[in-house]
Amino acid sequence: MPNGNRVTSQRYQWARAGDVNAFFGLMLDNVAGLLLAVSLLAFLFEFPTQFALRYMVPGTAIGVLVGDLFFFWLAFRLARKTGSNSVTAMPLGLDTPSTFGMVFFVLGPAFTEARTTMSDEAAALLTWHIGICAIFISGVFKTACAFSSNWIRRLIPRAGLLGSLAAIALVLISFLPLVEILHTPVVGFVALAIILTTLIGRVRMPGNLPGTVVALIVAGSMFHLMKWSGWLHATTPAINPAEALLPTDWFSVFRLEWLTAMDETTRYLPVIIPFALATVVGGIDCTESAAAVGDEYDTRLIVAGEGIATIVASLCGGVIQTTPYIGHPAYKAMGGRAAYTLATALFIGSAGVLGYFGYLYVIIPKPAVFPILIFIGLEITSQSYQATPKKHYPAIAIACIPALAYLALIYTDKVMAGQTLNLSPALQEELHTLRLLSSGYIVTSLLWASLLAFIIDRRLLMASIFLGVAATFTLFGVIHSPLVGSPMYLPWNLDSTALDSVMRFTLGYSFSALLLIGLHFHLQTTQSSNIDSNVESNNAETHS
């Protein structure tokens, strides 16, 4: 039978040499995420590190295990469907923006508040339960969105969705790790130089080694050598990693006691839902990115897969959600197929369940891996602009303003912590306004960027609708909450001072919405008049 009359089916080559490079990139990215979560909780909120390693890390790692195994299977499914032997699996791991969001807006505040009335151990347990509930809600929301993911994307402008991500990426994911690595600038600059040169500059390392591996080896060796010589005075984590091995007490999660914290968790919905929505949109974008290089995955399966992985993580005690990673074309360019996701799943999953991640936490210096987070922040910001029409760039820029308010508040609170300062009324008013702007900043960023995109497109009626949503959200504390911890509330339960702040913001949004509605009809009238004038002018010319 002639070759031209038959379809040639090639066996899927799911493991290639390029999977080695891809594995180290994806694996270290996930390790950095786990290091970040545990470190931020310990250093910023004094959360017990040993508790985080024994209770929080295992379930979080299981989410990565399940998600990457599912994406590994999807690669085989796509290869069978298309007959291609070069399908690259979608990468999946811990969502970096959610890591910051969960630590700064859910886990950290929950622990700080709980320890005022109970022991650190009891407070840590309650915080863990709140984190589980948060991730469970996130997973259910994402799974439900799998069936309407395209509708969500059409409803909210790309500038709104990506603008809020860019705000997190630039202000938090890039800035805060940069400050951390500059505590040891010799090691930090070297690692950052390697990461930026290889991952952004696309310069190959000798032996075609992955930049992430080279940065870890070179900067990590420098760190430990400088520490051994006494030139570097680094704080050693006060934990025994052997105590995190085989954390059998973690199995208490299967008693479902964490469900009792569900009511307490609802106050954090203004943080949980936007982060979940962001990963849904990110999953859609990542699927389109994969399609651009020839791997046509089903968007619904990708979003459903990350949702199910997040639910499984919560049922196993996880506190950080999973998401498809931006950069599928980069992993394909490395020569990766499907083996790299399988290897990442097994390594991260076993590190969490068996408990040897505790050794990674002690051995791997953060200045050697945190530059990866800076790269991620820069990449997300860059992608946000590249994927957005040029005329909507101001919408992405305005999304960063509420995030800057939160960043300023982080350091303001550090300075004022435990101190009684005699501040002038004007300065107190400025700090109060800063706190209102930073409260629920992710939702605020999304709304501001969306309504500005609609204004740029002269869709003033849609912009007024988003202003109305902002007014409603303010009224119930989804954004601009004046209360400590930024919880939601019923306006009639507020005291007069808090209610005054809420009503000023609510009325500001409401009057702005009415203004745009008026301008919308004025614009329609003007356009109609111009059309009538043009018709009359054309008729006059015809008669003449």
- Sorted by sequence, the CB contacts under 8 Å of residue 325 that are 6+ apart come out as 26, 29, 90, 91, 92, 93, 286
State whether residue 88 is helix, strand or coil.
Answer: coil
Measure Cα distances from 110 to 177, 268, 419, 436, 484 in Å: 23, 10, 21, 19, 12
Residue 83 near residue 151 (C-beta atoms within 8 A): no
pLDDT recorded at residue 5: 39
Joined together, the tokens standing for residue 393 give 């760039």
- Residue bearing tokens 């934990």: 239
pLDDT recorded at residue 537: 62
Q: pLDDT, tens digit, for every residue of 36-58?
A: 899 889 888 989 999 999 999 99
Q: Return d(Cα 85, Cα 78) in angstroms, integer.
A: 10
Q: pLDDT, tens digit, for every residue of 390-421?
A: 999 999 999 999 989 988 887 887 777 656 66
Joined together, the tokens standing for residue 396 give 């992405």
What is 183-212 written as a DSSP string?
Answer: TSHHHHHHHHHHHIIIIIS-PPPGGG--HH
- Sorted by sequence, the CB contacts under 8 Å of residue 118 that are 6+ apart come out as 126
pLDDT recorded at residue 450: 93
pLDDT recorded at residue 6: 39
pLDDT recorded at residue 227: 87
Low-confidence stretches of the chain (pLDDT < 70) are 1-9, 149-150, 152-153, 234-238, 326-327, 417-421, 485, 487, 529-544
